């Protein structure tokens, strides 16, 4: 994978809106996220021509959204690209992307959820991108970005050192999304007690390269030219998370499809982020864990390492996962080790 250059204080980054037009719908939330990025990371956030356009206009103009992304890659003054927010149809911009522009102008692309589709475009172009927070989600959340996430951003995007071992947040976690209202912006979200990551099966230390994203967004990509080839899945660590705590039956269906394609048989392990949404009782987590065990056992993969309840995706705080970067699952202590630098 091509690794982008690291960030440093004073760099200029572009905020792009490849999916839902959140900045136009809720401009004060977007501004809050921008200020948080500038204050905490000492970066300068700039809008692209259509970043703040009306949500309906953006929905009707996927080509314009793609043009913003391509302009951000080609503009030499832009050192990184942050997605403003997710949505559910960023796949519509893929026909208008030029993968050679991405390949020949490598820079950090950061985001999660629906922009899994953009990450897969970067992956197809050979560029390592970063699964992590967006401008309006976590950066702009009530009470500001959480320290665990902030540390992960600095270690991943600003440093050429290896990230090393990463384990669960010891300050707690939350799926709480209080209403985006001005009177709530200084109200800290309530954190639940720390939840250790859990090894569901597997032993020892297992290496692989990171590949995955949001389960629901990955469904859009199946059968398209942006879906990774079987060879690209060879030796991978599949990381997946869900948007809104879907029925575990859906997870079982998706995983059976991965096995039927031969993907589960080729990967080295699975990383599963805590589901988003409101279903977060102990029984809910047990049901998701059981779904992963059920399907892997159906296909004779009872030794495939699975690390569950991780801090990435649609709960906060979150770690940053760099696509294609060599990583190890450490089954003995339920952690991962990112074995190389993610930026140059």
pLDDT at 76: 98
CATH topology of domain 12-162: Rossmann fold (3.40.50)
| DSSP secondary structure, 288-344, as one string | HHHHHHHHHHHTT-TTS-EEEEES-SSSBS---EETT-EEEEETTTTEEEE-S-S--
pLDDT at 279: 62
C-alpha distances in Å from residue 222, one per residue of 218, 229, 281: 7, 11, 31
104-127 pLDDT, tens digit per residue, is 999 999 999 999 999 999 999 999
Q: Where are the domains of the chain?
A: 12-162, 165-338
Please say whether the dihedral angle defined by the alpha carbons of residues 112, 116, 117 and 118, taken in this order, is positive or negative. Answer: positive
Closest by Cα among 203, 179, 288 to 242: 288
In the chain, which stretches have pLDDT less than 50? none
DSSP state of 95: G
Cα end-to-end span (Å), the chain: 12
Residue 295 backbone phi and psi in degrees, to 5: -75, -40
Q: Which CATH class is domain 165-338?
A: alpha beta
């Amino acid at each position: 994978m091509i690794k982008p250059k690291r960030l440093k204080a004073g760099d200029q980054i572009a905020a792009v809106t490849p999916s839902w037009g959140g900045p136009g719908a809720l401009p004060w939330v977007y501004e809050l996220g921008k200020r948080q990025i500038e204050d905490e990371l000492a970066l300068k956030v700039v809008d692209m021509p259509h970043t703040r356009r009306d949500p309906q206009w953006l929905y009707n103009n996927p080509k314009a959204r793609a043009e913003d992304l391509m302009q951000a890659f080609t503009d030499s003054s832009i050192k990184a690209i942050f997605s403003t927010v997710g949505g559910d149809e960023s796949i519509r911009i893929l026909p208008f992307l030029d993968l050679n522009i991405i390949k020949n102008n490598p820079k950090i692309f950061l985001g999660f959820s629906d922009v899994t589709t953009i990450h897969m475009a970067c992956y197809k172009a050979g560029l390592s991108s970063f699964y992590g927070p967006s401008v309006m989600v976590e950066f702009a959340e009530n009470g500001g970005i959480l320290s665990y996430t902030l540390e992960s951003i600095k270690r991943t995007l600003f440093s050429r050192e290896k990230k090393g071992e990463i384990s669960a947040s010891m300050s707690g976690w939350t799926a709480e999304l209080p209403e985006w209202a001005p009177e709530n912006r200084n109200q800290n979200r309530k954190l639940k007690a720390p939840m250790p990551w859990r090894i569901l099966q597997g032993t020892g230390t297992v290496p692989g390269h990171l590949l995955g994203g949001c389960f629901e967004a990955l469904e859009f990509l199946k059968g398209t030219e942006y879906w990774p080839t079987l060879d690209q899945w060879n030796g991978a660590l599949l990381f997946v998370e869900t948007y809104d705590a879907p029925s575990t039956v859906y997870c079982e269906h998706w995983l059976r499809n991965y096995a039927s394609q031969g993907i589960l048989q080729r990967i080295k392990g699975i990383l599963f982020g805590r589901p988003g949404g409101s279903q977060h009782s102990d029984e809910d987590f047990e049901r998701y864990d059981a779904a992963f065990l059920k399907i892997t056992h159906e296909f004779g993969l009872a030794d495939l390492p699975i690390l569950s309840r991780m801090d990435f995706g649609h709960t906060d705080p979150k770690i940053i996962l760099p696509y294609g970067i060599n990583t190890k699952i450490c089954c003995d202590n339920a952690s991962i080790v990112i074995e190389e630098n993610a930026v140059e």
